[in-house]
Structure 1
Amino acid sequence: MSQPPLNQPSDSYSSYYPPTTSVTDQLDGATDPADLTRPLYGASFITAVKRLFKNYVKFTGRASRSEYWWAQLAYLLAVAIPLAIVIAGAVSNVQWVASQPKPEYSFDPNTGHQFLVNNPVVLENAPGLGMLQLGFALVGLVGLVFFLPMLGAGVRRLHDANFSGLLFLLALIPGLGGLVLLVLLILPSNPEGRRYDPDYVARY
């Protein structure tokens, strides 16, 4: 690049060395948490969860890493209590079965086989059965509440890294597919991902 003449005013350097644009500016993120048309970089936990459900079934646009991974944490916290209930119910049932009298068997000399005479263990009477049913029901409910929002957030996170949202289908491939998808979801934001914004053509 040619240097400016030495006799030029100092402000003439701006024509030779134009100010660089920061990566944040290039990403064109939202400056207001209420703006759902842009990804919000550096979102807090509460803000990310609010934006997750406000964008309930939105598969266009972008989502920042903070938005996506805070939402993942919210799902894990929401499902933790139902899973704890399931575990508690299972442990209670195992302890109850272990405390019951052993089943009684008899031997038939004609056939050479054993057969059950009395089985005092009736699982329908297990004290933890209700906890198991409640826990599994709550796990299913949490899954239904989070499924579509998390699916949309995953697609938008891929867009933010400048990948097609169709790559989320990698999750259907056992083992390696999920690992590759995880890596893609971790990758940093790419300014080129702006092409997935609904109003990209109008703005650029």
Structure 2
Amino acid sequence: MTNVPASPSLSQPLYGASFGQAFTRFWKKYATFSGRASRSEFWWWYLANIIIVTVLYIITAIGGFAGASIDSTTGASAPGPLFGVGIALLVIWWLAIIVPTLALSWRRLHDTNRSGLFWFLGFIPVVGGIILLVLFVLDSDPAGARFDA
């Protein structure tokens, strides 16, 4: 048997994280703003979130079309009764991930040796999101260890 190195503790970034490891660490570090998050942890989570949100949108769309009705006098259409279920699921998902997603973003910025407060650059119209994207893509900086708990 070969010895497989153990994963680092949750207080350390997991470089080269797999999809499952990143998803698990996201939930285990729900509201942890200190420490760092590797690029793989960050981007695997975003892929998982995109997949889940896409499925929820499909459920919402199917629920909207199934049983949809059209008012014969005005021509206005009304979504089916399951449309509300899809919207409720999207809202619940969004509420469940808002804090840990913000925490993950702060930890990713820490891994690039930047304060989590750089996250607020995202509020700059037009360019803020682009600036954040560039910062999230940057390589890890060993000096970011100053943010470790």
> Same fold, TM exceeding 0.5?
yes
> Which runs of no fewer than 5 residues in structure 1 stay unpaired?
1-30, 104-118, 199-204
Query: Computing the radius of gyration over CA atoms, which structure comes out larger, 1 or 2?
Result: 1
Q: When the two structures are superposed, what TM-score results if normalisation uses the length of structure 1?
A: 0.65
Q: Conserved in 1, the CA contact under 8 Å of 2:65 and 2:80?
A: no
Match of 1:132 among 83, 97, 102: 83
Which structure 2 residues correspond to residues 74-85 of structure 1 after superposition, within 5 A? 74-85=48-59
Are 1:196 and 2:124 an aligned pair? no
Give, in whole Å, the separation in 1 of the partners of 2:138 and 2:89. 33
Aligned counterparts of 2:89 and 2:14: Cα–Cα separation in 1? 31
How far residue 82 of structure 1 moved from its aligned partner, in angstroms, is 1.6
1:8-87 residue pairs with structure 2 within 5 A? 32-33=6-7, 35-87=9-61
SS in structure 2 opposite 1:66?
helix
CA contact (8 A) 1:33 1:47 kept: no
Q: Aligned partner of 2:37: which letter?
A: A
Q: TM-score if structure 2 supplies the norm length?
A: 0.87
Give the length in aligned residue pairs.
Answer: 145
Measured in 2, the distance between the counterparts of 1:178 and 1:145 equals: 22
Asked if 1:143 is matched to 2:94, the reply is yes
State the alpha-carbon separation in 2 of the partners of residues 96 and 145 from structure 1: 32
Please list every run of 5 or more consecutive structure 2 residues that lacks an aligned counterpart in the other structure.
none
- The residue type paired with residue 80 of structure 2 is L
1:175 aligned partner, one-letter code: V
Report the counterpart of residue 131 of structure 2 in structure 1: 180
For the aligned residue pairs, the C-alpha RMSD in angstroms reads 2.1
Greater shift, 152-161 or 141-150, is seen at: 141-150
